[in-house]
Structure 1
């Protein structure tokens, strides 16, 4: 099961959002803390200024009235508030302590009782009474909702910008990963645009160069193989004709069998080197499997019995030529190396249509499964005769991938080899060019 967190973009999203959340929470806490400190310092300075102003007013112009909310109260007045207790809120405690630090030593500072206008009572050593001055509320009503709205707006904008940047950063890498996957599956791989940071551009450039060199090598090998195989067909035809004219019947039959084996190998070379799109019309796979099985029994009466388990239905269709080559190679391989019965099966799965051919032989050693589809590799030295070139499974894998499918070779739990090919649901409706290009055409369109 694919999870979004497993992708580079998913992890970048988690990192970006996590860092933004941490930074915004930290800034929010710092702003609130600093705002409280600034407010406390401002209130202290304002109170000190008013107390000094009142003392100067009493000393210089005692006959002039004091401003509103500023007064001098006798020491024995019953309105004098009580001493601050330890249960006072921390901001008020900090305010009282800072105010005492700013006033002369020995000054008594008290706060008005709750419920009335906020004011501070100050009595110094030389004061004849309590100097009462107003003070700004340390915790005035604040518009927290507005602050949270602005914080959410800034956070959302930052997240969107960061996600766009992360998407721009991972998009070239995603394209490169898709190209690497296509190249690893043996499908045609167009050049990847060289975008992104310098290191990624260098990596993409190196990958494109590697793909070009490998494609050129593969093309040269296919041309050479096709040319050699084509040039051998004429001498083989002449050799067969001369063998038919031999008088010794036993020797004639042996030479004809050898010529037929060589011709079969040459045909396999030509099929393997063939790199043109299959322009044949799609045919229902279930019906074609039945016809091929009947024809195979008719041509080879002594061949292994073939069982059919066709459950895909008429919607599963493949190009006729490709399907014939797939089944003929798999049936020949099962007849040569497997044990009866041979089972041809079709079905529909979540990933797509499945066509599989299995036998009941010994299968392939687990260590050799990875080499089973490599061209010109014979897993058993005794398989070199009878016209076998080591191309059967390689041709099957190449033909399946050429039309956009996947080929999986493995051993059955009950014994025997099984070759399962999975094709996308829309394989029958694709144009010839798309079947030739495979799944990467869809990725480019999307």
Structure 2
């Protein structure tokens, strides 16, 4: 199961959203703190300004009345609040300390009694009376305000812009990853557009050059193999004709057998060199396997017992020519190196379909499994003269990958060799299943 967080875009998106959320939260908290401090500084400056204005008023125009909320109180009056600050909350206590710092030395600063309009009582050593002025109440910042709305709007636009940038950044990498996957399966790879940052453009350019060089090398090798194999077919046909005209039956049979082996090798060369797409009609794998196995039992002399376990169902489809070549090569390989019974099995899984062919021979040594599918490699050189070119498993691997599948070769349960081929649902030929939709 694919996890979105496992992709480059998923991780970039998660990183971008986390960074933006952290930065916006920090900015919002800092703004609220700064606004609270700004309110406190403004209240202190306003109180200091009012107290200084009252002093100047008393000194210059003592006969003029004061504003209604500003008054002078005699120090002996019982209305003077106590000097204790034990009941004051910390913000108010800091406010009083800030006001005291703005006043002359030894100035007394007190706040009015609770429950009444907030007032500030100030008396400097030079003041005859207490100066009482109104102050702004120190309100706590509201938990939700218009800033939160703007913050959400800005955050949403920032996330959308960042996700678009992350998508644009990972898109060339996704195209390159798809091209690498196609190249690994042996499928044709068109040039990948060179986009994105400089390092990514350099990587894409190097990959395109590598694909071109590999394709050129494969083409040269295929042309050489096809040319040699094609040129050998005519002499081999003449050689077989002349061999069949020999009088000595023993010699004739030996020469014909050798010519047949050489002809089989030439046909393997041609099949391996063929690099075109299979355009044959898709067929049901289960039914075709049954037909091929039945035909193989009838025409192959000394063929081992071949059993079938076909459980994939009619929706498992592969091109007919590709399937025939896969089955013939693997059955020939099991006939040459394995032991009966040979089992051809299909199955349906949650990811797709599987096709496997296994025998009960000695299998392949663990150190030789990695070389089993390499072209022109024969793990049993002593049998190379029996028409075996070392291309059988290499041809099967190429055909499976060209059909969009994956293969696995190994010994199963210590009883012989098994070739397991897996074909995901998305790579199978799209054929209209009228019968399935009708019922």
Q: TM-score range by the shorter chain?
A: over 0.9
Q: How much does 1:24 deviate?
A: 1.6
1:229 corresponds to 2:207: no
The 3-state SS of whatever aligns with 1:429 is coil
Counterpart Cα distance in 1 of 2:395 and 2:274: 10
Q: How much does 1:178 deviate?
A: 1.6
* 1:126 corresponds to: 126
CA contact (8 A) 2:283 2:319 kept: yes
Unaligned runs of 5+ in 2: 433-439
Counterpart Cα distance in 2 of 1:329 and 1:48: 100
How do residues 295-314 of structure 1 correspond to structure 2 at under 5 angstroms? 295-314=295-314
Counterpart Cα distance in 1 of 2:104 and 2:421: 94
Counterpart Cα distance in 1 of 2:166 and 2:282: 44
Q: How much does 1:252 deviate?
A: 1.2
Counterpart Cα distance in 1 of 2:299 and 2:25: 80
CA contact (8 A) 2:185 2:404 kept: no
- Matched residues, number: 431
Counterpart Cα distance in 2 of 1:165 and 1:140: 40
Counterpart Cα distance in 2 of 1:111 and 1:155: 43
Counterpart Cα distance in 2 of 1:412 and 1:143: 68
How do residues 253-332 of structure 1 correspond to structure 2 at under 5 angstroms? 253-332=253-332
How do residues 37-436 of structure 1 correspond to structure 2 at under 5 angstroms? 37-86=37-86, 88-139=88-139, 142=142, 144-425=144-425, 427-429=428-430
Counterpart Cα distance in 2 of 1:155 and 1:81: 49
Counterpart Cα distance in 1 of 2:86 and 2:417: 86
RMSD: 1.8
User: In the superposition, relative to structure 1, how do residues 200 and 21 fare at CA in structure 2: closer, same or farther (>3 Å)?
Assistant: same
Greater Cα shift, 81-90 or 238-247 = 81-90
CA contact (8 A) 2:36 2:141 kept: no
Counterpart Cα distance in 1 of 2:372 and 2:82: 96
User: In the superposition, relative to structure 1, how do residues 148 and 238 fare at CA in structure 2: closer, same or farther (>3 Å)?
Assistant: same
Q: How much does 1:3 deviate?
A: 2.9
CA contact (8 A) 2:185 2:402 kept: no
Unaligned runs of 5+ in 1: 432-446
What is the TM-score of this pair, normalised by structure 1? 0.92
Q: Spell out, residue by residue over 1:268-320, the C-alpha distance to the aligned partner (whole angstroms, 9 max, x if none).
A: 01111112222322222212111111111111242110111011122222222
User: In the superposition, relative to structure 1, how do residues 87 and 302 fare at CA in structure 2: closer, same or farther (>3 Å)?
Assistant: farther
Counterpart Cα distance in 2 of 1:158 and 1:415: 62
The 3-state SS of whatever aligns with 1:247 is coil
Counterpart Cα distance in 2 of 1:113 and 1:278: 96
The 3-state SS of whatever aligns with 1:283 is strand
The 3-state SS of whatever aligns with 2:145 is helix
The 3-state SS of whatever aligns with 2:356 is strand
CA contact (8 A) 2:32 2:141 kept: no
